[in-house]
Chain A
Amino acid sequence: MTPALKIDCKSVDAELDRQFGRPGQPLSQLARQHLDECERCTKLYRYLTQTAPDFAVSPELQRRISENAKRSLKPVSRLRSTSVRAAQLLIVFVLLAAAVTSMMKILGIEAMSPAQLAGISAVLALGVVLLSRSLAWQMTPGSMQRIPAWTAVAILGAGLLVGTVVLFPWQTPEAFVERGWRCLRTGLALAVPAAILFWLLVRRGAFLNLTTLGATLGAIAGLLSVTVLQFTCNMQEIAHLLVWHGGVLVISTVAGALIGRSAGRLRRSHLT
């Protein structure tokens, strides 16, 4: 294939992009010329734009569907807008994190320099904004998810990794396992009720992919634990933060995804 032909074939691709969902638009001059010359593209264009026959849904089937729906038909209160739902999740996160932190000693804040405190707080804030937005999007099928859920989780993970490496020093860990294990246990013990609370907040949503929902709920609950640990733990060095604090986030995200996956299987088994 010559490069020129390749460019022309792409003009047909662009034409198809334009035609889907907006049928009957006139073809561009470039695409028209190319379709006259390229048999392959002509076939492809024909396959993709040709009318598919209409499907008759029998009146009996339509009646059955309508009757089924009408049997439990009553007015429903609509979900609030995505922004309001995201703001609610964000507020609950901040209040919960503040409440738990205030009940513990704020040794972490005392141990961090102002730059470290500002930097890691910015990363944590970005994470909670992303995850609450993602959960709010997932509640409504067909919403425009500008950042897909798994991308949001990946951005959070990468942000925490980079933020920790850039902001905190590498020191020889002291009682690495013993102290770390304590942080991990505290973090996970906090993540479980947090995940349940966030689930209660979003349960009215129509979640289509329960694995993704589970992972996002696990991630936001894990992030809450990481936030509390960050402000209350005085071991502010890379290895401890990545292994033990980061471990809480990883475990809660993976556990959430696995629980979601099992719930998805259970739902499928009830499929009529």
Chain B
Amino acid sequence: MFESMNAGIVGTTTRQFDRTGESDLPALMIGYQQGDPEAVDELVRRVSPSLLRYFARANGSGQDAEDLLQECWVRIHKSRHTYQPTEPLLPWVFAIALHTRLDGYRKRRRRESKEMLVARLPEVAVEGAQLSSTTEVEFARLLEQLPESQREVILMLKFSDLSLEEVARATSSTVGSIKQKAHRAYAKLRQILEKEGR
């Protein structure tokens, strides 16, 4: 039975970030460091979809994702001299993205705690940010039940398409710690699935 299903899952799973063209990303970043405008355009074009997906999924709505994406690029621009060509680029980018998101989240939470909610405005969704299938809606709901640290690891693994080592780099952690968090998250997700009789 699983043979056919596996083909369905893995066969169509090109996974989110097109990693086949990833090898030239460091060269583009070096161009960015050297002040090449074409490298900037290309890097923004190549990396932004992956960042936007991460921000939209992590926030649960697309409302702030575009703002976070712009803020993240401002920070990437300011920090561009710290990128080392011998290191992989994506963990460098996602480390900045992670902290942009956390800062945005904390700022929003503080703002919301000071504001009195008068009326809820309709959410403005980013193009493509809506959860497109029932499975995705279910998965988003499952993720909400995970502790924050485990949720962050799963989000980065699934939506940023990073490996365990790259997530460890992006979160300033160790591979062992990321693996442990991921395995705890799998166990918790299994428990929830079992409880809900799925």
Contact = CB atoms under 8 A, between A and B. Distances in A.
Contacts of A64: 70
Interface stretch (A180-188, A203-211, A238-246): A203-211
Given A36-B1, A142-B92, A142-B169, A57 B52 contact: yes
A142 B91 contact: yes
A41 to B, nearest CB: 7
A69 interface: yes
A75 B40 CA distance: 12
Contact of A17 (B126, B129, B164): B164
A49 B99 contact: no
Interface string A40-51: 111111111111
B168 interface: yes
A262 interface: no
Given A43-B198, A57-B48, A145-B172, A73 B107 contact: no
B53 A54 contact: yes
Interface in A51-108: 51-58, 61-62, 64-66, 68-70, 72-79, 81-82
Contact of B87 (A24, A47, A142): A142
Contacts of B119: none
B6 interface: yes
B124 to A, nearest CB: 13
Interface stretch (A189-197, A217-225, A264-272): A264-272
B129 A55 contact: yes
Contacts of A73: 35, 37, 40
Given A68-B77, A73-B35, A268 B107 contact: yes
B80 A76 contact: yes
Interface residues of B, number: 98
Contacts of B95: 141-142, 208
A142 B94 contact: yes
A145 B165 CA distance: 11
A132 B154 CA distance: 31
B84 A78 contact: yes
A231 B167 CA distance: 43
Interface in A6-62: 9, 12-13, 16-17, 20-24, 26-27, 32, 35-36, 39-58, 61-62
Interface in B59-112: 66-67, 69-71, 73-75, 77-88, 90-96, 98-99, 103-104, 106-107
A4 interface: no
Contacts of A143: 84, 87, 169, 172
A271 B40 contact: no
Nearest to A205: B82
Contact of A50 (B6, B135, B190): B135
B19 A23 contact: yes
A16 B104 CA distance: 30
A40 B103 contact: no
Given A68-B77, A79-B84, A142-B94, A56 B128 contact: yes
A39 B5 CA distance: 12
Contacts of B91: 141-142
A115 interface: no
B71 A139 contact: no
Given A52-B57, A69-B40, 18 more contacts: A9-B190, A21-B19, A21-B162, A24-B14, A40-B193, A48-B157, A52-B158, A54-B128, A65-B70, A66-B37, A66-B40, A75-B35, A76-B35, A143-B172, A145-B174, A269-B107, A271-B71, A272-B74
29 contacts: A20-B164, A21-B157, A23-B14, A23-B15, A24-B13, A26-B10, A40-B190, A46-B5, A46-B135, A47-B189, A51-B12, A55-B126, A55-B128, A57-B69, A68-B74, A73-B35, A76-B80, A79-B82, A137-B172, A140-B92, A141-B99, A141-B170, A142-B92, A143-B87, A144-B165, A205-B82, A206-B96, A208-B96, A209-B99
